[in-house]
Structure 1
Amino acid sequence: MANGVWHTGYGIEINLSLPDLGHPYRPDLLREITASVSERDPQLLECLAHHDKRECLSESGGKSPWMFIRRGRVGGRRPLIASHLPITHKATPEESAQHKATKERVVATAGRYGLDADAEVPVANRRSVSDAVVTGPAGLRVGWEIQYHHLSPSSVHRRSVNAVENGITPLWVAKDRMASLIDRAPWARVDDMPWRDIADGKEMVIRGGYRHLEVWRCVASSERHCLVSEGAGHCGAIHADWFVPALCLPERKPVLIEDLVLRSATGESVPVYVPGRGSGRAGRHMWVSAADRALWEEIVDEKTPLPTAPADEDDDVITFAEQEIDRSCRAGEDGWFASDARPLRDLAQPTGGFTLPRLPPQRPGDATRITPVERAAASAALGCPPWELGLCAGCRQMMRRYGLNAAMYCNVCRAALNGR
């Protein structure tokens, strides 16, 4: 892995293993060399071996002597690595066929639903092109980005921000659970299917990227574990968290790609960003129902917009080993190594959720102390409309007090009374 590169603009040698890159008086140098190749001179960075007129392995391996900078992965470290640019980037024939079939399926699906859809749509400033743009009846535009080969996180972010700035909601499609686009922008993952199956209309399930909100009261009778207590304890609070359809209780029907084409364009399904809550992740992007997002925003009492700047995750922080520059050409080592595989990014586990503290005991006449947020969460957790909520005559906790099948005491108090 190359840890050095020649800067053709400044005529300097850059040591990527040093925090100041070997040039303390150039504070913007890191930003300049890590910029997207599309935003700078492709021949700005050169292989040191090629610059020194020594053997450059890229010349016989389908690569160019010009380079780009990426973050590598060596054990738990994230060093900067100089990699050779391909002479031309071409997806494999299978990837190209899958890409084309998926794009055509999205456009055809939109047409069957009476939605406007176009393929290969340039955004207003023509800096990027969406594979397909589907327009809903209210003018909502969703830009489908079919990405079946590796793309750098910075490119995902740049293209997503570009889409949003031009009134398009990005929707990235991946087939790999390790795809770097996952949780960098609104996304969906499908199976790695032969292109003929995609073109023939075989069921195409959204395996990741779509979730449902579940809210529950953390009591002994709950089927779910407590989010805050260790072991099998129950805290009595109300929890809310996001689950993939297969892990919902009861299990939800899987979402198909046709469902997402329609729902995303009509606004029935919307993107949401849930910031990390102490798990070491920057946060989760997901598609959810509009009703679930509204309830979540009411429960957490905030609206978190989609990030407009990339948030560094803990495992993305650059590591500087402060080594001597290796001037050998490392063109054959540009790829990912089996021992340093990309991490699994599509995780089916819950997000960490949100917990409302257990309501304090209430006295008669204190109902005004229950906040709208607590009332909304209790309504969702107990499965009843807000007007059927009331306080248990025993412990004064929120319960279903009015309406059909209502009671004066909660299950815990009834069990204690029956045990006397």
Structure 2
Amino acid sequence: METHRRSYGGEMANGVWHTGYGLEINLSLSDLGHPGRPDLLREITASVAERDPQLLECLAHHDGRDCLSESGGKSPWMFIRRGRVGGRRPLVASHLSVTHKATPAESEQHKATKERVVETASRYGLDADAEVPTANRRSISDALVTGPGGIRIGWEIQYHHLSPSSVHRRSANAVQQDITPLWVAKDRTASLIDRAPWARVDDMPWRDIAGGKEMVIRGGYRHLQVWKCVASSERHCLLTDGAGHCGEVHSDWFLPALCLPEKKAVHLEDLVLSSATGESVPVYVPNRGSGRSGRHMWVSAADCERWLEMVGEKTPLPEAPGQEDDDKITFAEQEIDLNCRAGEEGWFVSDARPIRDLGQPTGGFTLPRMPARRSRNPMLILPVERAAASAALGCPPWELGPCTRCDQLMRRYGRDAAMFCGVCRELLNAR
């Protein structure tokens, strides 16, 4: 059989040596070549920070053959991640850097952001500590902020690449401990985006962060917008993809700058306070027509309540799926490559990580038509119908009531209220 020599991604290989078990692992096989070890995949894909850095070794180095890593600032020790090429996600092994920790500047960025979160929370009178382990000791929050009502927010400052599985695992562990995770990224391609509650800030020098320079939330916080789909609307139609106007009432989530009118930008300090007090809450909204993908976002509690009323839900929206389709590992069943590939960047092919923070709407939701006639008994009006009427008429739900003449829901109470709807007024005036 011809040996397959193609790997995916710079300085990567499809095989590795497990120093703990004394095993040769073929990353292109679904069982890694060891069907009797079902936990092997989880063990080797764990973060280097959570295992022995010398657990995985270059096969060439282990066999005493030429290993080119040490001459190029790399070590013979390896880490495993998903590659990306042509829509496939193979497991690949790469050499760790001799010093694989973050650079001093990057570490200072992380430290400065963490300290700013803690200092902000303390200034608002909230309980806050840095480097707090969960009760089961499975993870550590960079900063844990506790609100007056007992809400606990676990801030995770993640300025480096982290595998989606690690994001899911650590987030799930936090939730099990009654901690709401809040991940902070600075890169629009960060894999944590839309895989857990998140916020993206600018990539700025650590001295600016520590010095109190404005830190705007660029992604991850949205506002609910509701509009009547008519010719005069500045929003496009969700049902016709902008080709016309359907006359229905649409709603969707937008970044502050894309709201009409534009909303004020949300700053890091705002989110520290509002997340801990419950004024801002995390939700997951599936994309229209796809339950396998969607948006994680922070929103105001008022917007969340209004959204749940409109979609007819009484409970929080569902969580994101544990693993998205584009994260599924591809096993090509190749023969293992025993050579060291460190430094041969031209030998490999790798797709760039896609931009995940696109700032696009979620796909929206179209409310049911406002009922033409309903009983005078307000208890018989369905909540979703009341929400549709409220949005269409631009008034709060408690100002709704039936027209005295035809029972059409209308603005019956409060300022600018009337006894008859517009149609009935015209008929009465025509007499």
Q: TM-score, normalised by structure 2?
A: 0.83
Using the alignment, how far apart are the partners of 1:300 and 1:124 within structure 2?
36
Matched with 2:287 is 276
Supply the AA of the counterpart residue of 1:237.
Answer: E
Change over 3 Å in CA distance of 1:119–1:33 after alignment to 2: closer
Matched, 1:217 2:249: no
Supply the AA of the counterpart residue of 1:292.
Answer: D
Residue 243 of structure 1: how far off its partner (Å): 0.8
Number of matched pairs: 415
Using the alignment, how far apart are the partners of 1:165 and 1:402 within structure 2?
45
Residue 311 of structure 1: how far off its partner (Å): 2.4
Counterpart selection for 1:200 from 187, 211, 214 = 211
Greater shift in the superposed pair: 18-27 or 187-196: 18-27
Using the alignment, how far apart are the partners of 1:385 and 1:156 within structure 2?
39
SS in 2 for 1:293: helix
Matched with 1:418 is none
Counterpart selection for 1:324 from 332, 335, 340 = 335
Residue 15 of structure 1: how far off its partner (Å): 3.0
Change over 3 Å in CA distance of 1:285–1:79 after alignment to 2: same
Residue 120 of structure 1: how far off its partner (Å): 2.0
Using the alignment, how far apart are the partners of 1:19 and 1:397 within structure 2?
62
Using the alignment, how far apart are the partners of 1:53 and 1:119 within structure 2?
44
Matched, 1:82 2:93: yes
Using the alignment, how far apart are the partners of 2:299 and 2:259 within structure 1?
13
SS in 2 for 1:144: strand
Matched, 1:296 2:296: no
Residue 270 of structure 1: how far off its partner (Å): 1.2
Supply the AA of the counterpart residue of 1:144.
Answer: W
Once the two structures are superposed, what CA deviation does each residue of 1:367-417 show, in whole Å capped at 9, x if it has no partner?
A: 776411221243144321224335789999755455544575569x999xx
Residue 100 of structure 1: how far off its partner (Å): 1.9
Residue 281 of structure 1: how far off its partner (Å): 5.5
Matched, 1:237 2:248: yes
| Structure 2 residue ranges without an equivalent (≥5) | 1-11, 427-431
Using the alignment, how far apart are the partners of 1:297 and 1:364 within structure 2?
24
Supply the AA of the counterpart residue of 2:119.
Answer: A
Supply the AA of the counterpart residue of 1:199.
Answer: A
Change over 3 Å in CA distance of 1:60–1:391 after alignment to 2: farther
Residue 259 of structure 1: how far off its partner (Å): 0.8
Supply the AA of the counterpart residue of 1:317.
Answer: K
| Structure 1 residue ranges without an equivalent (≥5) | 416-420
Counterpart selection for 1:149 from 152, 160, 164 = 160
For the Cα contact (< 8 Å) 1:17–1:79, is it kept in 2? Answer: yes
Matched, 1:378 2:420: no
SS in 1 for 2:343: helix
Change over 3 Å in CA distance of 1:333–1:30 after alignment to 2: farther
For the Cα contact (< 8 Å) 1:84–1:334, is it kept in 2? Answer: no
Using the alignment, how far apart are the partners of 2:387 and 2:371 within structure 1?
17
Matched with 2:169 is 158
SS in 1 for 2:366: strand
SS in 2 for 1:340: coil
Supply the AA of the counterpart residue of 1:345.
Answer: R
The aligned runs of 1:19-418 (5 Å cut-off) are 19-22=30-33, 29-37=40-48, 42-278=53-289, 282-302=293-313, 303-304=315-316, 307=319, 311-332=322-343, 340-359=351-370, 361-362=372-373, 370-389=381-400, 399-400=410-411, 403-405=414-416
SS in 2 for 1:286: strand
Change over 3 Å in CA distance of 1:97–1:52 after alignment to 2: same
RMSD after superposition = 3.4
Change over 3 Å in CA distance of 1:114–1:97 after alignment to 2: same
Greater shift in the superposed pair: 218-227 or 254-263: 218-227
SS in 1 for 2:13: coil
For the Cα contact (< 8 Å) 2:271–2:280, is it kept in 1? Answer: yes
Residue 275 of structure 1: how far off its partner (Å): 2.4
Residue 14 of structure 1: how far off its partner (Å): 3.3
Change over 3 Å in CA distance of 1:113–1:24 after alignment to 2: closer
Residue 11 of structure 1: how far off its partner (Å): 4.9
Using the alignment, how far apart are the partners of 1:274 and 1:402 within structure 2?
33
SS in 2 for 1:197: helix
For the Cα contact (< 8 Å) 2:373–2:409, is it kept in 1? Answer: no
Matched with 2:8 is none
For the Cα contact (< 8 Å) 1:274–1:304, is it kept in 2? Answer: no
Change over 3 Å in CA distance of 1:27–1:101 after alignment to 2: closer
Residue 39 of structure 1: how far off its partner (Å): 5.8
Residue 268 of structure 1: how far off its partner (Å): 0.9
Once the two structures are superposed, what CA deviation does each residue of 1:285-334 show, in whole Å capped at 9, x if it has no partner?
A: 11111111112222222334564x85222322222333332222233369
Supply the AA of the counterpart residue of 2:356.
Answer: R
Residue 139 of structure 1: how far off its partner (Å): 2.2
